Structure 1
């Protein structure tokens, strides 16, 4: 972080607090039941996404470009909830709202990388579906293992770079007034608004993060499905159209679950109570990783078949061991 501060001059003194106070959810009766519910969600998410990753690793038939992106999504979901939920519960359920300055920035860094990758991974999956529908005969030539791995690595590097820049710019802020963060984690916007000096760079990078990661991802996905819908309209029989569309239903479900609550919060967030906004955002970011593996298991035939095959093999091995 020295780079960001040295660029401003050596004689500038920054007022950095020893800690921040997370104080996002206040005045809600019986809110501890909500935190216990989130603990249940976290456990289910951890088990479900681990199961999806295990199936993809063990079944050689699932080692395709599409399932490289699905594996990455499951990994991101485990990473995201593991970065967010334990600290969330420690802060609110066990009443430890004080978080050291450096720990808060690290907390922000890991949470924002995961949140960005959740959106960007949906872009990778939508591109995969676009190529599969538009170019079914050339799909394996256009979307190779190398291409998908390169795309995933690029998205990770992009998410890390923009998040590191956002966190780095926070280190040039002086916090000479309040240290109370009105959010459910070390959120970028509520932190930089506490700064006493020029917050313009942090505001700009925050806008870039929101527009590029959230809105660009949404526009890209919508444009992709417009192209898919146009391609499906040219298929001669309704049965073939339905069959082709079914390959997109799991991904479409994830897109709707991820983007619709966020659009609502960012569109009407200024007119609703802060507690409703925080609860909506926390539910979106925490419940989505639990739903992802459920959706893929229920709606993706290949994963269902792989699970049955693996469970059958495991059951047969247990019977053989007993004999």
Structure 2
């Protein structure tokens, strides 16, 4: 982070607090039930995403470019859940509201990187569906392991660098007044609003990041499905349309689960109560990692068949062992 600070001169010093206070859920009634709910959501997320990753890894039939993206999504969901929920429960359930300065920035980095990668991974899965339906004959050439790995690697690089810039800009802020963050985690926007020096660069990155990691991916996904819909209209046989749409069901469900709650929260804006906003955003963070593996198991025939084969093999191995 010295690179950012050196740009402002060697004699410039910034007032960094020893800690921040996370106040998001403090004072809200009946929150104990919500913490228990979050704990069960976390357990389901860990078990579900670990299972999906294990199935894809163990079944060689699933080692296709599409399932490279599915595996990465499960990994991101697992990492995001482990980064957010245990710390959230530690803060509010065990009353550890005082989060050290460096720990808070690290917490922010992992949460924002995982949230960014969830949206960007949906773009990779959308690219797979777009190529499969728009160019079915050229699909094996347009969606290869090399292309999918390159796409996902570039998304990781972009997400990490973008969030690192946001975190780096926070280190040049001085906090002379309040250190109370009115959110459920170390939220970028809520942190730079507390600064007592010029926070304009942070304000710019605060507008730019959502555009790049939320609205731009959503725009690409929506425009892709417009193209898919136009291509399906040209298909004469109704059976073929239904079959093609079924292959998009899982992805469309993931997109709806991720983007609709965010759209509702941001659209309502100032009309939504601050406490309701915090609850909505926290649910938006924890629900997709829990539901994504369930959706892929329910809607994807290949994963269901693979899961059955693995379970049958396990049962047979136990019978033979006895």
Deviates more, 1:269-278 or 1:74-83: 269-278
Query: Following TM superposition, by how much is the alpha carbon of 1:25 offset from its aligned partner in structure 2, in angstroms?
Result: 1.8
8 Å Cα contact 2:26-2:92 kept in structure 1:
no
Report what 1:142 is aligned to.
142
Report what 2:242 is aligned to.
242
Structure 1 position 119 matched with structure 2 position 119: yes
Query: How does 1:1-323 map onto structure 2 within 5 Å?
Result: 1-322=1-322
8 Å Cα contact 1:22-1:180 kept in structure 2:
yes
8 Å Cα contact 2:122-2:251 kept in structure 1:
yes
SS at match of 1:308: helix
Query: Following TM superposition, by how much is the alpha carbon of 1:197 offset from its aligned partner in structure 2, in angstroms?
Result: 0.6
Q: 1:175 & 1:29 partners in 2: Cα distance?
A: 30
- Structure 2 unaligned runs (5+)? none
Deviations 1:5-45 (A, max 9, x none): 00001111211100000001233211111011000000000
Q: 2:172 & 2:16 partners in 1: Cα distance?
A: 9
After TM superposition, the score normalised by the length of structure 2 is 0.99
Q: 1:209 & 1:81 partners in 2: Cα distance?
A: 21
Q: 1:243 & 1:268 partners in 2: Cα distance?
A: 37
Q: 2:56 & 2:48 partners in 1: Cα distance?
A: 13
Deviates more, 1:169-178 or 1:5-14: 5-14
After TM superposition, the score normalised by the length of structure 1 is 0.99
Q: 1:65 & 1:303 partners in 2: Cα distance?
A: 14
Q: 1:312 & 1:137 partners in 2: Cα distance?
A: 35
Query: Following TM superposition, by how much is the alpha carbon of 1:137 offset from its aligned partner in structure 2, in angstroms?
Result: 1.2
Q: 1:86 & 1:219 partners in 2: Cα distance?
A: 33
Deviations 1:119-175 (A, max 9, x none): 000011001100000111110111100000000000000000000000000000000
Alpha-carbon RMSD across the aligned residues, in angstroms, is 0.6
8 Å Cα contact 2:183-2:190 kept in structure 1:
yes
8 Å Cα contact 1:26-1:275 kept in structure 2:
no
Query: Following TM superposition, by how much is the alpha carbon of 1:291 offset from its aligned partner in structure 2, in angstroms?
Result: 0.1
Q: 2:217 & 2:142 partners in 1: Cα distance?
A: 21
SS at match of 1:26: coil
Q: 1:130 & 1:177 partners in 2: Cα distance?
A: 51
